[in-house]
Amino acid sequence: MDALEFYIDGQWRRPAAARTIPIVNPASEQEIGKVSLGSAGDVNATVTAARRAFLSWSRTDRAERLAVLGRIAEGFRARLPELARLMTMEMGVPITFSIERQATVALFHFEEVIRVLRDYPFERREETGIVRREPIGVCGLITPWNWPLNQIASKVAPAIATGCTMVLKPSEIAPLSATALAEIIDDAGLPAGVFNLVHGDGPTVGEAIASHPDVDMVSITGSTDAGIRVAELAAKTIKRVAQELGGKSANIILPDADIPGAVKAGVHACNTNGGQNCQSPTRMLVPRQHRDEAIAAACQAISTIRLGDPMNPETTMGPLVSQTQFDKVQALIASGIEEGATLVAGGPGRPAECNAGYFVRPTVFADVTPTMRIAREEIFGPVLSMMFYDTEDEAVEMANDTPFGLAGFVQSKDPDRARAIANRIRAGRVYLNGAPFDRSLPFGGYKQSGNGREFGLFGFEEYLEVKAILGYPAA
């Protein structure tokens, strides 16, 4: 289960300097392979290949790009069970969820970009000239471990479709699925140099990509600190930066909602993927008069979660991805207790039924106040903070009292009432009444949750520059 080679200029190559770290199965804490860590020299080789390939790939027509993307999607479908299994092994997500969500939604990005590309108007005639959209150039793509293929596909697919070339740095914690996708892309016949893959850590490979003068754009999904660092390095060469960063989403349950049902749905949404989601509704805002009813419903929802071996189809929650993540979440649970929040489910330590692995007890705190760490910091684990309000204005104020602005959630039996609250939430995406996650609509954040948008048409246009042509004779 090794990822020792990089995909550079259409070939698999060993890194310039041999340096590896173990790939650890988070459910067993056992090493299952090794991944090579690249260097600035490896990044330079990939950027050189991507720059050379851009000269021809940027001039390809719509039909050629559609054909390649179609072959990638076909290869992805053929290997979907294997891709799901790799993600379960490297980052611990339950196999059922990995098949039904992790792998499937990644495939969707290739299918969606094909839909957008088919009819996209790259040129538009105006009264006095032409507005033309062209590929931005060489793109550096930096992706995380929590949705390994989803975040890769959401960047790679539109980059290919728009005529860009790219250098991908996936998370070194979850490199296996990224390597498999590179094999699929190679089999699809994408010309050499269009797609390149280098494994490595952020301080070495990520920073070399962000600072490279021949990279025209960087798209990063990661922590806010990582996004800040990338922006600082990219500023020196004035390259475009697209960021999908942290979140601390509020879930406002209005008084007219089905309180038990809304609370249970909110608990499960918070715990999806082990709580390792940037847009998880980790702050649940409930009318104060429904406090006891909401706490009872939350405890009941927690009792239905099944922890255990992620390869078992009946498991609904696996481990966190690493010891580092486990320690961070444990520290934040401890802070909630120390700062006076009411622990109503879960708590510190491993679940009794799990003797190994980075498992965390699904945890719910009530009576959380806006100044507590668990209300302000992105936990990235299965920890829910229940907060209580008296008026709708207070609920909106609490929801917006955060440096983040990735997503929001509103529950009400009256769609218009929910919509009115949604309009006041300072976030890039708001879900009403349990609406499913739609990857054709734009995804991205306000404030410290990032800049730019991914998915669908808006994600497609992130990879395009706008050119005005004046003086061309009118038709």
Residue 113 contacts residue 460 (beta carbons within 8 Å): yes
Residue 206 contacts residue 200 (beta carbons within 8 Å): yes
Could you tell me the fold of the domain covering 250-439? Aldehyde Dehydrogenase; Chain A, domain 2 (3.40.309)
Q: Is the pLDDT of residue 18 over 90?
A: no
Cα 13 to Cα 21: distance, rounded to the nearest angstrom: 18
Give the H/E segment covering residue 77: helix 62-78
Other CB atoms within a 10 A radius of the CB of residue 78 amount to 12
Share of the chain above pLDDT 70, in %: 100
pLDDT of residue 39: 97
Q: Average model confidence (pLDDT) for the chain?
A: 97
Q: Is the pLDDT of residue 362 over 70?
A: yes
Reduced to 3 states (helix: H, G, I; strand: E, B; else coil), residue 232 is: helix
Please identify which of the residues 207, 244, 454, 461 carries the catalytic annotation.
244
Residue 465 contacts residue 135 (beta carbons within 8 Å): yes
Query: Domain 6-245+449-470 is in which class?
Result: alpha beta
Look up 278 and say whether it is catalytic: yes
Query: Residue 283: CB partners within 8 Å, gap ≥ 6?
Result: 248, 249, 250, 251, 368, 375, 385, 387, 398, 399, 402
pLDDT category of residue 258 using cuts at 50, 70 and 90: very high
Q: Which two tokens stand for residue 199?
A: 């494994």
Reduced to 3 states (helix: H, G, I; strand: E, B; else coil), residue 3 is: strand
Look up 164 and say whether it is catalytic: no
Other CB atoms within a 10 A radius of the CB of residue 241 amount to 21
Q: Is the pLDDT of residue 475 over 80?
A: no
pLDDT category of residue 352 using cuts at 50, 70 and 90: confident
Q: Which residues make up the CATH 3.40.309.10 domain(s) of the chain?
A: 250-439
Higher per-residue pLDDT: 470 or 474: 470
φ/ψ bin of 433: left (φ > 0), alpha (ψ from -120 to 50), beta (otherwise): left
Share of the chain above pLDDT 90, in %: 97
pLDDT category of residue 263 using cuts at 50, 70 and 90: very high
Query: Residue 410: CB partners within 8 Å, gap ≥ 6?
Result: 251, 252, 254, 418, 421, 422, 425, 430, 431, 432, 433
Residue 305 contacts residue 270 (beta carbons within 8 Å): no
Please identify which of the residues 139, 164, 270, 278 carries the catalytic annotation.
278
Query: Residue 281: CB partners within 8 Å, gap ≥ 6?
Result: 249, 250, 251, 266, 269, 270, 407, 409
Query: Residue 386: CB partners within 8 Å, gap ≥ 6?
Result: 284, 286, 294, 295, 298, 344, 364, 365, 366, 367, 368
Q: Is the pLDDT of residue 439 over 90?
A: no
pLDDT category of residue 473 using cuts at 50, 70 and 90: confident
Averaged pLDDT, 282-298: 98
pTM over 0.95: yes
Cα 454 to Cα 243: distance, rounded to the nearest angstrom: 9
59-63: list long-range contacts, CB under 8 Å, 24+ apart. 59/163, 60/163, 62/117, 62/118
